[in-house]
């Protein structure tokens, strides 16, 4: 299905579905379901799936996806998949150039992450069977190709791992920053005045310990590099400031 | 081990090692070894590993890593790991803010990908056991924390999947663009003159089919959006140009 690009109506967008074609190992289906749950995807489509025994590896590997994604998966024919969805086929093996369009050109998962928000059709990420992936016949019927950049010496990822990486890269389609488990680091980053006080205190300490005058600027530059990279939190900067202040004042107290 | 930042000599950099602490499942160790091979990492460190039977799941899941990474893995104590390497501990569960430094602050794998090239010490990415990950005691001895952004409702990734994503994000440390299996798309991207000829041809076709004048600009804009997003290859653009040219000329020929 292709969206009509001259149609300007805003449409409600659902996250891409994940389709697995002819997987042999139930464990891989479970692994994919778990990655879907981890990154906010919900719709699992299965073409010619292996048997998914509730006491077997599919459910064993699915983590919390065993409660919803796996039991709610839809079994369908490959024909219906390509008819009903904008399909993105994932493959490790692309063509070298544009003489054949079956496996070329391709997008990387990172490319897709940028571009997919503009695709308004129901979309499915399609993963093929273990070992041989999607066949040329299948890829020829699929709308576009996605390939994960990997080591040229061994670019073939395990099915579950390929799906995990793709869903990770596309998490922006389903999860905003506020939907992740990670707190907002900006909120606690040390303010510039605090960081400036920290460098001033380092300067005082260098003077106090008679650090050679001619090395002062170079050492201060080194310190700025170190703490610049470290992205201190306000609390870290204040703790460090306290430590440095005490270190600076100690010799004077000893000298009294 | 911490590099001396005032030391300006360039040092030879080796890619980070991958350390797995107290894994229970040989299959996960195999999965991690495979991801290492896929993304160009070589050094596998194992703390309290399960038995890795050459006929078992570790070797079964490792793909081509069964030939080198897995048999060459080094078993070591956690003490030696933290003594000999700049350690980056991976965990799904971070602290909410900077009141405790055990699990805070953290970097994401994408942050690490930007920052790690500046770290010159031998570095190890450290992954913990299934279910509970790295303990607070272990994390307290580790140099920095990494966390993968995931669904707040279920952020806990499977061990093998977490390592796969982290190594994927850090592949830039080991693989240049030329080291991946993917051909360079820039090389085959349609040139601007070709793309311009394509739009001119669309314009001619619209005129030929009596597309309403007042809709011309809007439709051309739509076409530019469509083909702009599609990133045509030179060959695709030329094929399309040929098709459009014939479509444009057909009515005239019919009219003769």
pLDDT tens string A9-19: 444 568 999 99
Q: Tell me the β-bridge partners of A127.
A: A20, A90
pLDDT value at residue B251: 53
C-alpha distance from A197 to closest chain B C-alpha (Å): 19
Among A31-45, A108-122, B8-22, B234-248, which stretch is predicted with the lowest mean pLDDT?
B8-22
pLDDT value at residue B57: 96
What's the rounded mean pLDDT across residues B17-43? 97
pLDDT value at residue B148: 96
Q: Using CB atoms, pick whichever of A93, A97, A118 lies closest to residue B229.
A: A118
Which of A217-231, B60-74, B121-135 is predicted most confidently? B60-74
Is the predicted pLDDT of residue B8 greater than 60, yes or no? Answer: no
B-chain residue closest to A178, CA distance = B152
C-alpha distance from B81 to closest chain A C-alpha (Å): 22
Give the model confidence (pLDDT) of A76-94 as tens digits. 999 999 999 989 999 988 8
pLDDT value at residue A130: 93
A147: contact with B, CB 8 A cutoff: yes
CB-CB contact of B73 with B114 (8 Å): no
pLDDT value at residue A251: 53
Residues of A in contact with B115 (CB under 8 A): 229
What's the rounded mean pLDDT across residues A97-118? 83
Is the predicted pLDDT of residue B37 greater than 80, yes or no? Answer: yes
DSSP state of A15: P
Tokens of A107: 């997008």
CB-CB contact of A189 with A228 (8 Å): no
CA distances for A247 relative to A204, A210, A243, A254, angstroms: 10, 13, 6, 11
**Strand B86-90 versus strand B74-75 pairing type:** unpaired
Is the predicted pLDDT of residue A104 greater than 90, yes or no? Answer: no
What's the rounded mean pLDDT across residues B19-40? 97
Give the model confidence (pLDDT) of A40-81 as tens digits. 999 999 999 999 999 999 999 999 999 999 999 999 999 999
Give the model confidence (pLDDT) of B151-208 as tens digits. 999 999 999 999 999 999 999 999 988 899 998 877 778 888 999 999 999 999 999 8
B-chain residue closest to A64, CA distance = B154
Share of chain B above pLDDT 70, in %: 92
Three-state DSSP at B191 gives coil
For chain A, the average pLDDT equals 88
Which of A96-100, B8-12, B111-115 is predicted most confidently? B111-115
pLDDT-derived band at B30 (thresholds 50, 70, 90) equals very high
Residues of A in contact with B158 (CB under 8 A): 31, 34, 61, 63
Give the model confidence (pLDDT) of A167-201 as tens digits. 999 999 999 888 999 888 777 788 889 999 999 99
Is the predicted pLDDT of residue B127 greater than 80, yes or no? Answer: yes
Q: Torsions phi, psi of B232, nearest 5?
A: -60, 145
What is the spatial order of strands in the sheet that A17-21 belongs to? A74-75, A44-47, A17-21, A123-127, A86-90, A144-146, A106-107
Give pairs for A246-253: CB < 8 Å, separation 24+: A247/A205, A248/A201, A248/A204, A248/A205, A248/A208, A251/A208, A251/A209, A252/A208
pLDDT-derived band at A252 (thresholds 50, 70, 90) equals low
User: How far is Cα of residue B155 from the mean position of the Cα atoms in its chain?
Assistant: 19
User: Do B183 and A151 make contact, defined as CB atoms within 8 angstroms?
Assistant: no
User: Do A235 and B99 make contact, defined as CB atoms within 8 angstroms?
Assistant: yes
Is the predicted pLDDT of residue A120 greater than 80, yes or no? Answer: no
B-chain residue closest to A93, CA distance = B181
Residues of B in contact with A101 (CB under 8 A): 236
DSSP code per residue over A96-163: SSTT-SSS-SEE-HHHHHHHGGG--S-EEEEE-BTTTBS-HHHHHTSSEEE----BTTS----HHHHH
ipTM for the whole predicted complex goes beyond 0.90: no
Is the predicted pLDDT of residue A159 greater than 80, yes or no? Answer: yes
User: Do A151 and B39 make contact, defined as CB atoms within 8 angstroms?
Assistant: yes
pLDDT value at residue B14: 82
C-alpha distance from B256 to closest chain A C-alpha (Å): 33
pLDDT value at residue A9: 41
C-alpha distance from B245 to closest chain A C-alpha (Å): 21
Q: Torsions phi, psi of B205, nearest 5?
A: -65, -45
Is the predicted pLDDT of residue B101 greater than 70, yes or no? Answer: yes
pLDDT value at residue B155: 95
Give the model confidence (pLDDT) of B47-79 as tens digits. 999 999 999 999 999 999 999 999 999 999 999
For chain B, the average pLDDT equals 88
């Amino acid at each position: 299905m292709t969206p009509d690009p001259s149609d300007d109506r805003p449409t409600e967008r659902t996250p891409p579905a994940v389709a697995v074609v002819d997987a042999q190992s139930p464990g891989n289906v479970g692994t994919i379901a778990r990655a879907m749950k981890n990154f906010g995807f919900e719709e699992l489509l299965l073409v010619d799936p292996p048997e998914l025994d509730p006491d077997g590896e599919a459910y064993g590997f699915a983590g919390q996806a065993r409660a919803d994604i796996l039991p709610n998966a839809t079994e369908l024919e490959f024909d219906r998949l390509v008819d009903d969805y904008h399909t993105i086929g994932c493959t490790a093996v692309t063509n070298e150039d544009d003489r054949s369009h079956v496996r070329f050109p391709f997008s990387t998962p990172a490319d897709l992450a940028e571009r997919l928000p503009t695709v308004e059709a129901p979309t499915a990420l399609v993963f093929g069977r273990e070992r041989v992936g999607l066949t040329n016949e299948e890829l020829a019927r699929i709308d576009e190709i996605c390939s994960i950049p990997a080591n040229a010496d061994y670019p073939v990822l395990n099915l579950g791992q390929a799906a995990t990486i793709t869903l990770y890269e596309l998490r922006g389609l389903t999860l905003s920053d506020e939907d992740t488990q990670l707190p907002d680091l900006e909120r606690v980053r040390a303010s510039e005045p605090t960081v400036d006080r920290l460098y001033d205190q380092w300067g005082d300490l260098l003077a106090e310990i008679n650090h050679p005058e001619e090395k002062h600027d170079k050492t201060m530059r080194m310190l700025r590099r170190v703490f610049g990279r470290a992205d201190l939190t306000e609390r870290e900067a204040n703790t460090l400031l306290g430590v440095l202040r005490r270190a600076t004042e100690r010799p004077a107290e000893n000298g009294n």
